[in-house]
Amino acid sequence: MTVTYLLDGTRIRTLEDFWRVIGEAVNGPGGYFGRNLDAFADCLSGGFGQPDDGDYVIEWRDHQVSREHLGHPETARQLELRLARCHPTNRPAVAAELAAARAGRGPTVFDWLLEIFEDRAPGVLRLA
Rounded Cα distance between 86 and 69, Å, is 24
Rounded Cα distance between 110 and 125, Å, is 13
Res. 110: pLDDT tops 90: yes
| Predicted local confidence at residue 58, as pLDDT | 95
Where does the chain have alpha helices with state H? 15-27, 37-44, 63-69, 72-85, 91-102, 109-120
123 Cβ partners below 8 Å, 6+ apart?
none
Q: What is the pTM of this model?
A: 0.93
Res. 54: pLDDT tops 70: no
The closest of 12, 15, 9 to 81, measured between CA atoms, is 15
Give the pLDDT mean for 39-67.
Answer: 84
Region of 123 on the Ramachandran plot (φ > 0 left; ψ -120 to 50 alpha; else beta):
left
Domains of the chain and any CATH numbers: 1-67+109-128 (3.30.370.10), 72-107 (no CATH)
pLDDT tens, 38-48? 999 999 887 56
pLDDT band at 2 (very low <50, low <70, confident <90, very high): confident
